[in-house]
């Protein structure tokens, strides 16, 4: 309890800065072995990330446990043998284990090596909220952002825990089922890692969307002043009529429009720097978990379709309904993880694309040569500094990924179903191996 209070803080404390806003997110990532930090409050009342020896030990122990468990799984001590034991399923299970082992080890190692990028990222967020945005009259509200972040954490962690608990009960309560602790760890460990990276990346995207939205509102507010011709030199701030859930705005009318645009350019540059830092921190992790998720989705869809289409002659210890439910729920779990990552990234990119239209709208309205020059500089900056998220530069993390995954999923499902239908024993029993089936299929095609 002392450790929980120290790392998370009392539930009654309201988040008042970036670090306390990420308190639950960082704590859950610490527990799952992704980050070696936790949030503390300094003597000045400011939040900060503090290194945790427990976090480093947790990461190292998890790496050792996962490697040992996967080694046991390679020696045929697998959870999948309770559902079926066939030539194709053996190959699929081996590929899934290898992919999971290498993927989890890579994610934990990369997270440990790139841990300073997370510190830099949150420092940029803190600088935006405490220095940059107040200069243009924006005050960030942490409560609304904190609720969105905690909701995402609860959805992903809750769905993962519910699936693993139900799966464990379904398998454990079956008298004929056999499994070991190492088999359970090797099978379910990718679920924890994918969940942790998903909510950590998703919550970073939430903040980026809020910052981009606030920047766009500042520029829209400037355009509104020009439209109503209310830009007058007075000596005080006037509260804006618009107060959004994530931030509140004050119309600063003591500043020259060119100065506000210059401040907005600096804010945009800092946001792009933060997005580039986030992409650097998550790029290989996203590539790994998307690869793991895609492979599991393909194989789960294959198991479900094969059973529903009546192509399988499996000898399982579970009923068809239990079999289909188990793999369907696992597939849905990974789909939720991919959707949370893609939608978070795509929304941030769409927010950033709106800035260009607002800037050019201001450019068409302004009469001042100085303001026009600043807006032209801003336009050039928008051309050269764009927010983009990639998986190690191999593909973009946006909605085009849905189409790519759907196409690849369809292709591989057709190939796997052909393996089954062209095998003399439907790919089961003591019939031909997968390699022989592949040769038969190739010769038949030629």
| pLDDT tens-digit readout, 154-173 | 999 999 888 888 877 777 66
> Regarding predicted confidence, which is higher, 258 or 342?
342
User: Cα 198 from chain centroid?
Assistant: 3
* Average pLDDT, integer, range 62-88: 65
- pLDDT confidence tier of residue 398, bands split at 50, 70 and 90: very high
pLDDT: which is higher, 335 or 242: 335
Torsion angle of the four alpha carbons 302, 303, 304, 309, in this order, in degrees rounded to the nearest 10 = 80
How confident is the model at residue 257, as a pLDDT?
A: 82
- The 8-class DSSP code of residue 390 comes to B
Would you say residue 62 has pLDDT above 60? yes
Report whether pLDDT(81) > 80. no
Q: List the chain domain ranges.
A: 14-226+255-422
Burial letters for 403-430: b for 16+ Cβ neighbours within 10 Å, e otherwise?
eebeeeeeebbeebbebbebbeebbbee
The string of pLDDT tens digits covering residues 15-24 is 888 999 999 9
148 has pLDDT over 50: yes
- For the cut 80, the answer to whether the pLDDT of residue 268 exceeds it is yes
What pLDDT shows up at residue 335? 92
For the ranges 23-37, 162-176, 194-208, which has the lowest average pLDDT? 162-176
Query: Are 286 and 324 a contacting pair, CB within 8 Å?
Result: no
Judging by DSSP bridges, how do beta strands 138-140 and 37-41 pair with one another?
unpaired
**Average pLDDT, whole number, for the chain?**
79
pLDDT for the residue 29: 92
- In angstroms, what CA-CA distances link 181 with 32, 178, 184, 352? 18, 11, 5, 47
Indicate the helix (H) or strand (E) that contains 265: helix 257-308
Instruction: Look at residue 200 in the predicted model and tell me its pLDDT.
Output: 94
The whole-number pLDDT of residue 67 equals: 74
86 pLDDT above the threshold of 90: no
pLDDT value at residue 4: 43
pLDDT at 122: 94
Distance CA 370, CA 376 (A): 10
Q: Which of 242-246, 399-403, 409-413 has the lowest mean pLDDT?
A: 242-246
Task: Check pLDDT > 90 for residue 120.
Answer: yes
User: Which has the higher per-residue pLDDT, 3 or 315?
Assistant: 315
- Rounded Cα distance between 79 and 31, Å, is 25
Q: Is the pLDDT of residue 196 over 80?
A: yes
- Provide mean pLDDT across the span 110-119: 91
The model's pTM:
0.83
The model's confidence at residue 125, banded by pLDDT at 50, 70 and 90, is very high
């Amino acid at each position: 309890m002392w450790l929980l209070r120290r790392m998370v803080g009392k539930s009654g404390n309201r988040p008042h800065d970036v670090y306390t806003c990420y308190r639950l997110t960082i704590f859950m990532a610490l527990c799952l072995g992704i980050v070696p930090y936790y949030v503390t409050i300094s003597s000045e009342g400011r939040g900060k990330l503090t290194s945790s020896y427990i976090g480093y030990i947790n990461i190292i122990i998890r790496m050792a446990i996962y490697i040992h468990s996967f080694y046991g799984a390679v020696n045929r001590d697998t959870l999948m043998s309770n559902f079926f034991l066939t030539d194709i399923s053996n190959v699929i299970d081996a590929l899934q284990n290898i992919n999971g082992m290498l993927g989890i080890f890579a994610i934990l190692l990369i997270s440990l090596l790139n841990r300073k990028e997370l510190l830099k990222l949150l420092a940029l967020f803190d600088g935006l909220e405490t220095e940059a945005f107040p200069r243009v009259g924006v005050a960030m509200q942490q409560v609304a952002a904190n609720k969105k972040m905690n909701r995402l954490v609860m959805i992903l962690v809750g769905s993962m825990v519910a699936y693993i608990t139900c799966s464990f009960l379904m398998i454990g309560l079956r008298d004929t089922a056999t499994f070991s602790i190492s088999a359970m760890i090797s099978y379910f460990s990718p679920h924890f890692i994918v969940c942790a990276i998903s909510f950590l990346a998703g919550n970073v995207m939430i903040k980026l969307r809020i910052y981009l939205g606030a920047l766009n509102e500042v520029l829209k507010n400037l355009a509104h002043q020009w439209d109503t011709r209310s830009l007058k030199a007075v000596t005080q701030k006037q509260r804006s009529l618009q107060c959004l859930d994530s931030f509140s705005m004050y119309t600063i009318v003591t500043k020259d429009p060119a100065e506000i645009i210059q401040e907005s350019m600096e804010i945009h540059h800092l946001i792009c720097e933060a997005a580039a830092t986030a992409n650097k921190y998550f790029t290989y992790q996203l590539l790994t978990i998307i690869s793991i998720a895609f492979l599991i989705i393909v194989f789960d869809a294959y198991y479900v379709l094969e059973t529903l289409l009546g192509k399988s002659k499996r000898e399982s210890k579970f009923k068809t309904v239990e079999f289909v439910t188990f793999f369907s729920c696992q597939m849905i779990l990974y789909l939720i993880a991919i959707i949370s990552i893609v939608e978070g990234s795509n929304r941030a990119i769409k927010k950033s694309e709106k800035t260009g239209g607002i800037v050019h709208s201001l450019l068409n309205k302004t009469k001042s040569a100085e303001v026009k020059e600043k807006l032209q500089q801003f336009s050039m900056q928008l051309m050269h500094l764009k927010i983009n998220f990639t998986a190690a530069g191999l593909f973009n993390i946006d909605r085009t990924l849905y189409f790519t995954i759907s196409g690849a999923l369809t292709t591989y499902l057709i190939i796997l179903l052909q393996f089954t239908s062209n095998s003399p024993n439907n790919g089961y029993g003591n019939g031909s191996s997968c390699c022989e089936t592949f040769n038969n299929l190739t010769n038949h095609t030629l």
